[in-house]
Structure 1
Amino acid sequence: MEKDLLKQLNLWHNDREYEKIADRILEIPEPDRDYDSVSHLARALNNLERYEAAVQLLLTMEKQGDKDPLWHYRLGYSYYHLKQYEAAIREFEIVNKLDPADKDALMFIEWSRQEIGQMKRKRKQLVQAESEQSNDIGIGKVPLAEKVKPFLLVEHNNGKSSVILAIGTYKDEVFQTRADEGFEGNGYDWGSLAAVFLEERMPQLMGIVHFDPEASMFCAYSDNREALQSFSIGFKDACEDDAVIRDLFSRAQLD
C-alpha cells in the first residue's frame, strides 16, 4: 500500500471516518488490493458494525492471515459481535498464542465465555419452565401459565422471576412488517418491542422489570414476582391485540 494512502487511512480511522476508509479502498480495483488494504477495509467494516461483510472479506485472505495475530483479532472481533462466541474464542486464543502481550484478546475470551455461560443458563431455564408447566407443578401456577402462553414463567431459588419466549414460534408476522429495516423477530427485536410496551403501557414497572434477550430467546426478569407477572399478562394481552401490538412495534428501535 502506498505510504500516502496508508497515512490518510490512519487519519480517517483516528477521526472515526470509517465510511471514508471503506469508500476509498473500494475505489481500488479488486485485483489491485493488497493484503494491507483489505485488512484496513475489514477493520472499517467492523467499526461500521457490518460484521458479516467483515467476516466474508477476512476469509478471502485466510492463507495470508494465518500467522498474523491482527487478522485473527479482527476475525474474532467480528464473530464476537455476531454472537458466534465459540468461533470468537477460537480466534482470540490464536491471537494469544501469536501475541501473548495482547491483553484485549484475553478480555474477549473471558467475555465470550461469560456469554456462552449465560446462554446455557437461559436454555436450562427454558427447559425447566416447559417441564414445570407440562407437569402442572405448583399450586396456582397453571392458570397464570396458561394465560401467558407461549411465554414461560420461571421462578428462581434466589427469589427472582423470569419470563421467557423461544423465538420463531409467535407473532413472526408482526416483525416481518419491518423486515426491510433489519428486524428479524429475534430475541433482541422482542426486547425492543417489550421496551416500548413497558414505557407506554406500564411505566410504573420501569426500573423493576428488566430485559436480557439473546438472539434465540426473549427474556424479561425481576426480583418482584408480582410485577413480572403483571407485565407478562399485560404484554401477552397486547400481543393478542393485533392493532395494539403493531402500533407499539411501529416505535420499536432496532438493537
Structure 2
Amino acid sequence: MEKDLLEQLNCWHDDDEFEKIVGKITEIPEQDRDYDLVSHLARALNNLDRYDEALQQLSTIKTEGEHDPLWHFRVGYAYYYLSQYEDAVTAFEMANKLDPEDEDAVMLLKWSRHEVGITSPQEKSMTVQPNAIASVKNDPPANELISFKERIKPFQFIEHDSGNVSLILNVGVYKDEVFQTRADEGFEGNGYDWGSLAVVFLEEKMPQLEDTVHFDPEADMFCAYSDNREALQKFAIGFKDACEDDAVIRDLFSRAELD
C-alpha cells in the first residue's frame, strides 16, 4: 500500500470517518487490494457495526493473517458483537497467544469466556459491559490501547495527578427527558438530580462499589470520583449503559429521591 494512502486511512480512522475509509478502499478493484488494505477495510467495517462484512473481508486474507495477532483480534471483535462468543473466544485466544502483551485482547477474551460460562475466579472482576470498546485498533506502529472514553460520552473520565479519578457530566441536555417525567415533584435534571439517580443505580446495580465510588455533584455538573480507577471505570460503563436503556433508566429514576 502506498505511504500516502496509509497516512490518509489512519487520519480518517483517528477522526472516526470510517465511511470514507470504506469508500476509498472499495474504489480499488478487489484483485488490487493487498493485505494491509483489506485489514483497514475490515477495521472500518467493524467500527461501523458491519460485522458480517468485516468477517467476509477478513476471510479473504485468512492465510496471510494466520500469524498476525491483529487479524485474530478483529475476527474476535466481529464475532463478539455478533454474539458468537465461542468463536470469539477462539479468536482472542490466538490473538493473546501471538501477542501476550495486548491488554485489549486479554480483556475481550475474558468477556467472551464469561459469556460462554467459562469465567475463572480470577476473571470475575471483569464482568462489566463490553461496550466499553469503542474503536478497533490501529495497525502498528500506531497500535494504541482502545479507550473507553469514547464509549461513555457525554460523560468525561478525568485522571488527576493525585492518582484519583473523576467522572464528569455537564448536565442540562443528556437524558433531560427522563428528569422531566418528575418535574412536578421538583426534579430539574441538575447535577444534584443526577446524583440522586446515580445513588439508586449504585445501590441496586453495583452495590459492591458503594464504599469505593462517591458523588460530589453541583448545580450544573454531575461528578463521581474514586481513588480506584478500575472501580470508577466499571461504574462509568455500567451507568452509561443503563442511561442508554430507556426502560432501565426510567425505572431507576422512579426511586430517586429529591435532594
**TM-score (norm: length of structure 1):** 0.47
- Kindly indicate which of the two structures has a greater share of residues assigned to helix: 1
